[in-house]
Structures are given as structure tokens and as C-alpha cells.
Amino acid sequence: MENIEIVRVLDEVADLLEIQQANPFRIRAYRNAVRTINAHASPLRKLVEQGADLTELPSIGKGMAENIRELVESGRLAMLDELAAEIPPGLVDLVRLSGVGPKKARKLWDELGVESIEDLEEVAKEGRVAELPGFGLKTQDLILRGIRNYRTNTARFRLGEVDELLPPLIEHLRATPGITRLEVAGSYRRRKETVGDIDILVLAEDAHAASDALVGFSGVESVIGAGGTKTSIRLRSGLQVDLRVVPAESWGAALVYFTGSKEHNIRLRRRALDRKLRVSEYGVFEIPGESVGDRLGERGVASEGAMVPGASEEAVYRALDLAWIPPELRTDRGEFTASDAGALPDLVERSDLRGDVHMHSTWSDGRVSLEAMVTACAARGYEYMAITDHSKALAMVEGLDAAKLRRQWEEIEQVQATHPEIRILRGMEVDILRDGSLDLEDEMLEGLDVVIISVHSFFGLERAQQTARVLKALSHPRSMIFGHPTGRILNRRGPIDVDIDDILHACAEFRVAVEVNSHPNRLDLKDTHLWRARELGVPVVVTTDAHRPDELDLARYGIEQARRAWLTPEHILNTRGVDGFLAGLADAGYGSRTKVPSR
Ligand code: DGT
Ligand code: CA
Ligand code: CA
Ligand code: ZN
């Protein structure tokens, strides 16, 4: 860990303590330590590695020295995690706004209940910030401007947005003479649901030409830095792009390093040290002689030590006795142990999906006819599909009541007759009503092959009530798939407040599958919850919730999300053929649920 990162962590601790209105002496200790480290020219990690006494530095006491040691050795500070758990996570973002410090953030939280930037924007627009003592109109304007800046400069981009913004730039770079290889690394390659910035690696005959190509791209708004082997720009959309020119013999090592995650890299570095090796973005090096300690710092000195071939990722991992690890797994959540045990999962792939079972048609809020969705699914090679329009509680989209649903079944029968190439299942996305009952008569539920139950209303219920509501819905014997279980919309709406562990336990008990809603604005369930679902043996269904034919292609995002939760085809019901899929949904051991033949 570099000084700049240590400083960032200690600063955050100080901010949190200040929000907490902790003892001023304690806060000052952190601010002073930050000042000391900022003034210290050489890396503290070297001192730590040499076992030096950090308390000899000005204003570093015993406790602070321990903190620094923990940070350098583990990359984390447990105390920060504890502090962060006590304060709404959005509050920390407030402190980063110009015009708001920890004191103001605290006041906004206490007086106006502000817990996030969204909250702050709302109350500022209502003029309520100006009315607070010590704020005033000027501060309020400053805050609103700060929020706009924050949005354009630091907000994270959803993967789907990036996939729209990136292709023109990539094409432009690939067309640049002298750029012979290009890969997007970073969180984008790990397929994280949101990305902070884009990290592009290239092989280029001439680093300057590559840099000029990026700077000259038509979508560039500003150049953050250009020179040497790294160039950073900001696109007009606000998305930052870092381009790095890499030597060919270091390609694999650079790809590993810049794909991350940081946690993965830290573990990798430790593993190298255990083998008397040193891994960096330039390669894997042997550390000559016995003394490991004094060599640690100088990463990037390509001439030092003998180089273990670092041209490919495989070679880098092999040098550390590891199998190649899929980028989605590089989060230090067990991938090293799994590799050692020869037990890396055989992750699900897009081509494993044999049917999509959540989509809408013009019967409710879809854009095209039922038949158009059918032909679109058939064109994608699916063996089966389910039409799942909304139920009547969603009045604004004219959801279906029993009579309309019966008419839809007639249409399904007609369309099926002319489309033998794909099996059309009768489905519905049935609303979970406020009291947890389902928005369709039992008799009609009996006639459906696929029953998705979803929350589309009363998102704001408090936890106990919301959890009870969902548990009741899950217990219905005809509930088969829990659709977009937390209801979140990335960067826009938070999840409903439920005890997710209770809910996943109930899904396991009632054999209700959880959906991975593939829409890149939802990606619901998210990776960590899916992980838990897998542990509990809850079946999973990956769907697109398509409202138009082209949205059927969003399935890749759901698959990537599933991979990030270590899912294999066995965990996912719609990787099975239609009979296996239906059997999986009907797999009851509970209540009166029986498999209902489609016709
Ligand atoms: P992002 O951009 O916030 O979505 O996340 P990343 O993972 O793309 O992070 P970024 O862009 O800051 O850095 C790209 C990669 O470079 C990251 O995944 C791992 C590597 N990296 C960056 N900083 C560090 C570091 O301090 N230590 C180590 N070991 N690796 C780092
Ligand atoms: Ca990045
Ligand atoms: Ca970056
Ligand atoms: Zn829905």
C-alpha cells in the first residue's frame, strides 16, 4: 500500500469520527498522522517491512503505528469497517461534496434526515438547506453545484452504459496504426455491475502514437494526463479512461495486475512472496539471495532478478502454481483456495441458456406482439420461452385479469401451432400485493406453467413488514420464481428493506427459484446474494425481463452476474431442457404444487 492510499484511509476514518462527533483529540490524531505521512517522502511500507519503529515519526503514536502496519500488511483497516457500519454509507459520500464537510454532513443528517446525495439534492431543491442555521442560500447553491460536479465526475457507471459508450473508442484505437493488441481490464473485465473508470491496455510500437490516438478521439472532453506510458482522458459522458502502453513481454502480467481486483492482487503478491518471488505489472521475478525484505518496494524494475515469463496470464498464474482464474472470480473470495484444490467452478456460459422465461408483450407493457417475441426467441436458438405479462394490479400498464389471461392462452395456442420450433410456456409476472397475497386467482395460477412473483408497489415498507409480506407470497404453493427480488434500480432506487437471509431460506424451503434479472439497470439478485442463494441450495433462473426483442440479448449480463457468484449450469434451472426446467419449478416437497402440463 502506497502512502497516498494510507492517507486516504486515515482521512476517511477522521471524517467518520467527525460525523460521529467523537473525541476531538482522537480526530486530530488522524488528521495529524495524515499531515505527517503527506510530508514523508519515502514509502511507509518500506519502514514497516524493515520492522522500523513508526512512532519515531512526528505525531505518530503507538495506536497509529499499529493502524499503518495493519494497512500495509493486509490492505485493510478493521476499525474503518466497524466505523463505516455505524453510519449510513451515503453519508460518507456527502463529505466528498464541495461545500459539505463532516460537520455539515452530520447536521444535515440530524436536522433533515439526509442520508445520501439523493436526499440532499431533494432538500436543497426544496430550499430547506438554506434555512438551516449556519448554511444559508449561498451554501445551498454551492451544495447543488457540488452535487452536479460529483455526478459528472465521480459517479459509477453501469456496465450497460459503458457497453454503449465504449465501442466507438475501442474501434478508434484498434484502427490506430501501431496498436497491435488491446484489452479492456479493470472492473469492466471483471464484469462488475458498475465501473468507476475504464482501464485499457495496449501493445503499441510507439507509445506516443497510442497516447495521441486516445487524446484525439472525438468523444474526449478533457485530458487528465498524458505522457510516458499512461494517458488519462474524460469522455463527454463523464467516463474516465486510462490507457496504458505495455511491453510485449509483460502483457500477461500487466493484464493480471490491471484486471485486479486490488484484493486479488494483494493476495497474489503475498503468494508470490511465499515462493520467494515478486509479482508486479511487469512480470514475476525471482528474488535473488535470502533477504526478501529489502526487495519488496521496487516493483516495476524490470531488470532486477530473473524474469519468469510474464507474456501471458496463464504463465503468470502458472508461475505461482495457480490455474488461470476467470476475471469474474478475481475478488479474493476463495479463488486461490479453489485453484489449489483443483476446484475452480465450471462457470455457466451464455450458450448454456436453453430458454428465457421472463418477458413482456403488448398484452401488457411490452413493445411488440406475443408472436414477435416468439420469433425473436426462436431466432436466438432457445428451445422454450415463457410469456410473462403483468397482472392487473399494475393498472398503469393494463395488467391482465383472469379473462384477459384466458384470451392470451388462446393466442399462445394459435402462435404455438405455427411455431413448432420453440415451446411457448404460459407465464405471468404476478404482483405481490401489499398483504403478501398474489394478484391472481388460484384457479388461474393452476393453469400457468411459469409463475413469477414480483414486488412492484409499496417499496417503502419497513423491514419486518416487507419481509413478512414477501415470505407470505413465497409460501403460496403456486409461487415458482421470485422476480427481481430486491427491486433495486442501480444508481436510482435502493433495494426494498427485507431480511434477505430469511427470504433465501424460505426460497430453499419452498423451492422457489430466485431470478437473476439480467437488465443491466437491475442485476437483481446481486452477486453476494446469489452467492448466499447457492450456499442454501436455492434454484436460480436467469432471465431478461425483455420488453422488446433486442432486450433478449441482455442475458449476457445476468450470466456474468451468475458467474460472479460462482454459479455453474447445475445451479440454473433454465440451462435444462424444457422438461427438466418444468420439473425444477414443480420440484415441490411442499404443499399442493404439481407439475401442470402446458396443454
Ligand atoms: P473501478 O474502476 O473503481 O470500477 O475498479 P477497478 O478495479 O477497475 O480499479 P482501478 O481502475 O482503480 O484500477 C485498475 C486495477 O489496477 C485494479 O483492479 C487493480 C489494480 N490496482 C489499482 N490500484 C491498486 C493498488 O493499490 N494495489 C494493487 N495491488 N492493485 C491495484
Ligand atoms: Ca477501473
Ligand atoms: Ca483506473
Ligand atoms: Zn417486474
Contact assessment for residue 121 and residue 51, using Cβ atoms and an 8 Å cutoff: no
Atom of ligand 1 nearest to the CA of 269: 29
**Beta strands, E only, 294-440:** 307-308, 355-356, 384-390, 423-431
Average pLDDT on 90-94 reads 83
Parts of the chain belonging to CATH 3.30.460.10 = 157-245
Q: Which pLDDT tens digit goes with each residue over 507-553?
A: 999 999 999 999 999 999 999 999 999 999 999 999 999 999 999 99
Residues 6 or more apart from 186 whose CB is under 8 A from it? 195, 197, 198, 199, 258, 259, 260
Atom of ligand 1 nearest to the CA of 1: 26
* C-beta 399 within 6 A of ligand 1: no
Query: Using 50, 70 and 90 to split pLDDT, how confident is the model at 154?
Result: low
Atom of ligand 1 nearest to the CA of 194: 4
Superfamily of domain 3-153: DNA polymerase beta, N-terminal domain-like (1.10.150.110)
* C-beta 260 within 6 A of ligand 1: yes
d(CA 450, CA 406): 15
Quick one: which ligand is closest to 244's CA? Answer: 3
Parts of the chain belonging to CATH 3.30.210.10 = 250-340
Report CA(455)–ligand 4 centroid distance (Å).
7
191, 195, 197, 198 alpha-carbon torsion, rounded to 10°: 20
Name the residue at shortest CA distance from atom 18 of ligand 1: 260
* C-beta 193 within 6 A of ligand 1: no
Backbone φ, ψ for residue 220 (5° rounding): -75, 130
Nearest of 241, 231, 223 to residue 165 by alpha carbon: 241
Name the residue at shortest CA distance from atom 19 of ligand 1: 260
What is the Cα gyration radius of the chain?
Answer: 27
Q: Which pLDDT tens digit goes with each residue over 260-316?
A: 999 999 999 999 999 999 999 999 998 876 444 444 444 444 445 667 767 899 999
* C-beta 186 within 6 A of ligand 1: yes
| Annotation: CATH topology of 250-340 | Beta Polymerase; domain 3 (3.30.210)
Is a pLDDT exceeding 70 seen at residue 591? Answer: no
d(CA 278, CA 275): 8
Parts of the chain belonging to CATH 1.10.150.110 = 3-153
* C-beta 327 within 6 A of ligand 1: no
The CB density around residue 528, as the number of other CB atoms within 10 Å, is 12
Q: How far is CA 319 from the centre of its chain?
A: 30
Is a pLDDT exceeding 80 seen at residue 597? Answer: no
Q: How far is CA 47 from the centre of its chain?
A: 36
Name the residue at shortest CA distance from atom 25 of ligand 1: 262
* C-beta 262 within 6 A of ligand 1: yes
Contact assessment for residue 403 and residue 428, using Cβ atoms and an 8 Å cutoff: no
d(CA 305, CA 283): 11
| Annotation: CATH topology of 157-245 | Beta Polymerase; domain 2 (3.30.460)
* C-beta 93 within 6 A of ligand 1: no
* C-beta 302 within 6 A of ligand 1: no
Best probe residue, ligand 1, of 2, 187, 230, 296 (max atoms within 8 Å of C-beta): 187
pTM comes to 0.75
* C-beta 187 within 6 A of ligand 1: yes
Q: Which pLDDT tens digit goes with each residue over 460-510?
A: 899 999 999 999 999 999 999 999 999 998 876 779 999 999 999 999 999
Nearest of 298, 425, 291 to residue 356 by alpha carbon: 425
CATH of domain 354-589: 3.20.20.140
In the numeric block, the cell 453501469 is attached to 158
Average pLDDT on 91-108 reads 85
d(CA 45, CA 4): 11
In the numeric block, the cell 460536479 is attached to 149
Residue 542's H or E segment, with its range, is strand 540-543
